Amino acid sequence: MSQQDTTQVDQPTLNDLVDHLTTFEGPPEEFLLRLLAVQCHIASAAGGAILRPIPKGPPEVLAVFPAPQENETAPVWLAQSVELAPRVAEATDTVVTALQAPEGYYDQSPQQHLVMIPIRASGKVRGVAAYAIHSTKSSLLAESRQRLELTISLLGLYEMRLTLQHRHGDLKRLRQGLELLAAVNENDRFRAAAMALCNEIASVWQAERVSLGFLKGRYVRAVALSHTERFTRKMKLVLDIESAMEECFDQDLEIMHPPPAEAAFVTRATGTLASRHGPTAICSLPLRLKQKTIAVLTVERNIDRPFTSEDMEVLRLICELCTARLSDLYEHDKWIGAKAAGMTRDGLAKLTGPEHTWIKVIAAGVFIAAVFFTFAKGNDHAEGSFVVEAITRQLVPAPYPGHLARVEVEVGDEVVQGKSLLAALDTRQLLSELMALQQERRRALKEKDVNLSLPGQQAQVLMAEAEVEGIDAQIRLKEFQLGQAEIYAPISGILIKGDLKKELGAPVDTGRILFEIAPLDTFRAEVAMPEDRITDLKLGQKGQLAPVAQPGLYLPVIVERITPVAQVINQRNVFNVRVKFDQNNNQWAEAVDQINLTQGLEGVARIEVGRARYLWLWTRDMVNWVRMKLWW
């Protein structure tokens, strides 16, 4: 067989290369290089690269084939690939573009092409593959493009295989953790469960010794050692194990010995344990319950088999699964005195410890407030609704028939006797009648003078004089009515009725009541007091009224009269209590200037009936209701 035939036999086929990639289990970096090498081989490409686009910034180069030498300038095709990668990532298909050599001429046909394929996963572009191909024939370029597009799918298969490997590893770790949890759950006593955990871990991980320590007071005490039924704290081995456990507990970190190069934890006690009783590889893991470390698990095995990250993940999962069960057995597998002491200690620790500061401050405040309001006394008030009414009223009638010309006041205005103009009647008709009477009087006087100059006209003179006197009487009446046209307040007080501004120009008859005025000292408030508080009221007690119109304004009052007869208002029995305004109180002078005290003013009345404990004030209604229901 010739040498050429031997070379053809030894050269791997395309199927061999693809099969090798589909079964490759190495790291992603090495897979990308091998994938590019195979693609460049089958597509006759001068080089290839895998790029990952970055939203803000140039794309990241994940792999390049052939690998550039140190301090070597990047080839032209790679630089152009970096520039075109963002645009290709937005495209939906493969992009083929010509590469122009720096020393070439523009009128010369391109000798090299750049094929860029977007790499998709889960409907999104995850990367871009770029290849430099030397070819001037479009058929060869199309064939190379087709081969590259077919083989780039091997990257997706590799990612799927990695995902399946990770899932298989997760399931394996979960299975180991559940098997250990099942072994722990088979025991109802704490010491047996702890021994089962230590023995199972020692058997599965081929450990020389597995120890479990629980926090007791301020120190971690060993409670179980694998394949060891009895041990005492006087043993040097136990003391060294507890020191390593406390080192892990104090740092609240996973401790490994030998420590990794990037480790930031202290391993002095762990190193002492490994050197005195080894040499061994050691790892200590904290067991946490409700984010609080309660125990430590320490595993020791041959120094030739250090703990890997996969081992630590499985041990961490086992600790998380078994912590709750072990803690429950540890707390309940005690005699009643130890349980009571532990519960008391935990309660006092929560009460006096540094945690939950605001909750404790609030609880202390609530306790102090409860004690204060139980024994402290406050003012007791009887409350009811009130309505302001006037006891006496001054009626202002129309002086003569006429029409309203103007109205100067409104309901609620304060008026002054003889100074406040209430309204005025139209005087045009009166003035017309007065002028006619005056003209009639002049005619009568003229007729009298004529009769006086004639003899024998004494009777006509007397008749003329009588007519003049009658006219004078009518003139005086009209003048009196003119003087009554402007209606002034007859007394000082508050206008409680007489909203006549809407009736300007309307006729009024003599005697029609136009206004009602109530003196300030005759206003009273009728308080509807509930029947359950009427027995607490007495004459002379003081209180305050809060009108609905001005809730922040308080009118001082004094109880004047208590009506002994109840009446039903809003389906509730109430007693009428009359109160008068305390005009001698300084608060009255300030309040009366800020409110229009009118009839019908409503609000809430509060009468001071004494002092009582706050607890009684707040629970009185409930206690009285219970007494009524239970006849107590």
**Structure-model confidence comparison of residues 610 and 350, the more confident one:** 610
* 381 within domain boundaries: no
Helix, strand or coil for residue 435? helix
User: By the 8 A CB rule, do 451 and 460 touch?
Assistant: yes
Q: Are residues 30 and 144 in the same domain?
A: yes
At residue 448, does pLDDT exceed 80? Answer: no
- Beta strands of 375-427 (E only): which ranges? 377-390, 394-397, 402-407, 414-415, 421-425
Q: Are residues 485 and 542 in the same domain?
A: no
User: By the 8 A CB rule, do 546 and 554 touch?
Assistant: yes
CA 497 to each of CA 206, 395, 416, 520: distance values in angstroms, whole numbers, following the listed order? 106, 9, 16, 14
Band the pLDDT of 102: cuts 50, 70, 90. low
**How many angstroms separate the CA atoms of 297 and 301, rounded?**
13
CATH of the domain at 608: 2.40.30.170
**Structure-model confidence comparison of residues 137 and 2, the more confident one:** 137
Distance of CA 370 to the CA centre of its chain: 29
> Which residue is associated with the tokens 């359950």?
532
**How many angstroms separate the CA atoms of 471 and 440, rounded?**
7
CA 7 to each of CA 2, 16, 18, 304: distance values in angstroms, whole numbers, following the listed order? 9, 16, 20, 45
Band the pLDDT of 12: cuts 50, 70, 90. low
Q: What percent of the chain has pLDDT over 90?
A: 9
Q: Are residues 183 and 294 in the same domain?
A: yes
* 14 within domain boundaries: yes
pLDDT tens digits, residue range 117-150? 888 877 677 788 888 888 777 888 888 888 888 8
- Number of domains, the chain: 4
Helix, strand or coil for residue 33? helix
Q: Are residues 105 and 203 in the same domain?
A: no
**Structure-model confidence comparison of residues 319 and 348, the more confident one:** 319
Q: Are residues 128 and 191 in the same domain?
A: no
Band the pLDDT of 101: cuts 50, 70, 90. low
Q: Where does a domain end: 120, 152, 184? A: 152
Ranked by mean pLDDT, the top range of 14-23, 235-244, 305-314, 597-606 is 235-244
Q: Where does a domain end: 473, 492, 516? A: 516
pLDDT tens digits, residue range 56-66? 778 888 888 88
At residue 245, does pLDDT exceed 90? Answer: yes
CATH of the domain at 482: 2.40.50.100
Helix, strand or coil for residue 376? coil
Q: Are residues 490 and 605 in the same domain?
A: no
* 447 within domain boundaries: yes
Write out the residue range of the structural domain in which residue 605 sits: 519-630
How far is the first Cα of the chain from the last one, in angstroms, to the nearest whole number? 122
User: Counting Cβ atoms within 10 Å, is residue 480 exposed (0-12), middle (13-18) or buried (19+)?
Assistant: exposed
Cβ neighbours, 10 Å, residue 242 = 22
Average the pLDDT over 73-78 and give the result: 81
Band the pLDDT of 1: cuts 50, 70, 90. very low
* 307 within domain boundaries: yes
User: By the 8 A CB rule, do 54 and 128 touch?
Assistant: no
At residue 457, does pLDDT exceed 50? Answer: yes
At residue 589, does pLDDT exceed 70? Answer: yes
At residue 5, does pLDDT exceed 50? Answer: no
Question: Picking from 9-18, 153-162, 337-346, which range would have the lowest pLDDT averaged per residue?
Answer: 9-18
**How many angstroms separate the CA atoms of 94 and 183, rounded?**
57
Q: Which residues pair with 425 in a beta bridge?
A: 404
**Structure-model confidence comparison of residues 96 and 104, the more confident one:** 96
Q: Are residues 511 and 531 in the same domain?
A: no
At residue 363, does pLDDT exceed 70? Answer: yes
* 376 within domain boundaries: no
Q: Are residues 182 and 204 in the same domain?
A: yes
Q: Measured on CA atoms in the order 50, 53, 59, 60, is the torsion positive or negative?
A: negative
Which is nearest to 300 in space by CA: 339, 272, 263?
Answer: 272
- Beta strands of 197-251 (E only): which ranges? 209-216, 219-225
Q: Which residues pair with 287 in a beta bridge?
A: 295
Q: Are residues 557 and 470 in the same domain?
A: no
Q: Where does a domain end: 311, 335, 359? A: 335
**Structure-model confidence comparison of residues 230 and 136, the more confident one:** 230
DSSP, res 535: G
Q: Which residues pair with 348 in a beta bridge?
A: none
Average the pLDDT over 357-380 and give the result: 86
Q: Are residues 186 and 113 in the same domain?
A: no
Q: What angle do CA 43, 48, 52 make, to 5 degrees?
A: 130
**Structure-model confidence comparison of residues 275 and 99, the more confident one:** 275
CATH of the domain at 301: 3.30.450.40
Q: Are residues 262 and 408 in the same domain?
A: no
pLDDT tens digits, residue range 496-524? 788 888 888 888 888 888 888 888 777 78
Q: Are residues 547 and 462 in the same domain?
A: no
* 457 within domain boundaries: yes
Average the pLDDT over 237-243 and give the result: 91
* 369 within domain boundaries: no
pLDDT tens digits, residue range 535-544? 888 999 999 9
Confidence (pLDDT) at 2: 41
* 366 within domain boundaries: no
**How many angstroms separate the CA atoms of 340 and 332, rounded?**
11
Confidence (pLDDT) at 295: 92
